[in-house]
């Protein structure tokens, strides 16, 4: 079973809000949810981390329901430069499984 499941791709337009959902049904009590962004020819870059409810930083928001079996990365008012692959990764101190999912390829159009 895949550790995390995300949509393969999404399209959006400049100025729109984009929501990318990740399923992680087997998340453990001590696990955290992290999201990364990757541009072509670069290593992934950390975006945001959360445990429950909502987390917001200058880049994005992360919404986590009470059962924590999924999470939604929200990118407000995307621009062309947000075109990238977005990965979610579930991590924890007792969790040594560092397998990223396939990621979601977001394409922002003018």
Partner 1 sequence: GAGVSQSPSNKVTEKGKDVELRCDPISGHTALYWYRQSLGQGLEFLIYFQGNSAPDKSGLPSDRFSAERTGGSVSTLTIQRTQQEDSAVYLCASSLRTGPSSYEQYFGPGTRLTVT
Report which secondary-structure segment, H or E, holds 59.
Answer: none
| Minimum separation from the CB atom of position 15 to partner 1 (A) | 28
Q: Which residues bind partner 1 (CB under 8 A)?
A: 32, 34, 36, 42-46, 49, 51, 85, 87, 91-93, 96-103
Euclidean distance between the first and final Cα of the chain, in Å? Answer: 37
Task: Tell me whether residue 94 or residue 110 sits nearer to partner 1 (CB atom).
Answer: 94
Task: Tell me whether residue 14 or residue 97 sits nearer to partner 1 (CB atom).
Answer: 97
Distance set, CA 70 to CA 15, 64, 95 (Å):
25, 6, 17
Q: What is the DSSP letter of 76?
A: S
Task: Tell me whether residue 58 or residue 110 sits nearer to partner 1 (CB atom).
Answer: 58
Rg (CA), the chain: 13
| Minimum separation from the CB atom of position 102 to partner 1 (A) | 5
């Amino acid at each position: 079973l895949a550790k995390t499941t995300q949509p393969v791709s999404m399209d959006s337009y400049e100025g729109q809000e984009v929501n990318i959902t990740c399923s992680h049904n087997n998340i453990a009590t001590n696990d955290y949810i992290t999201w990364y962004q990757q541009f072509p020819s670069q290593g992934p870059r950390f975006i945001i981390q959360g445990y429950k409810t909502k987390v917001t930083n200058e880049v994005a928001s992360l919404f986590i329901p009470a059962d924590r079996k999924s999470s939604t990365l929200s990118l407000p008012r995307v621009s062309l430069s947000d075109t990238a692959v977005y990965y979610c990764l579930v991590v924890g101190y007792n969790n040594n499984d560092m397998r990223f999912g396939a990621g979601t390829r977001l394409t922002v159009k003018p």
